[in-house]
Amino acid sequence: MRLVIDYRKCLKSGQCSYLHAELITADPDGTPRVIAERLGEDLRAAAEDAVDLCPSGAISLTEE
Ligand code: SF4
């Protein structure tokens, strides 16, 4: 499972890194960065919440 950020959609609003710092950090200019390449099942609920909270639909979860 992976989190993917579509930088064409991202508004750099910061909700994802603020509310899910265990998954996403942010560069000084606000660009979010996914911390872990692969996520374990223990982080699924948090990852799904990050997808839901993004105001621009820039975050998606893939099962690959
Ligand atoms: S919540 Fe969405 S729009 Fe805001 S910084 Fe994260 S990915 Fe970008």
**Residue 3 binned pLDDT confidence (cut-offs 50, 70, 90):** very high
- Sorted by where each begins, the domain ranges of the chain are 2-57
- 3.90.226.10, 3.30.1330.60, 3.90.550.10, 3.30.70.20: CATH of 2-57: 3.30.70.20
Binding site membership of 11 for ligand 1 (Cβ less than 6 Å)? yes
Query: For a pocket test of ligand 1, which of 8, 9, 16, 18 has the largest count of ligand atoms closer than 8 A to its C-beta?
Result: 16
Residues 6+ apart with CB under 8 A from 12: 26, 29, 30, 31, 32
Note the pLDDT tens digit of each residue in 18-48: 999 999 999 999 999 999 989 999 999 999 9
pTM: 0.94
- H or E, element range at 19: helix 15-19
User: Measured in angstroms, how far is the CA atom of residue 59 from the centroid of ligand 1?
Assistant: 7
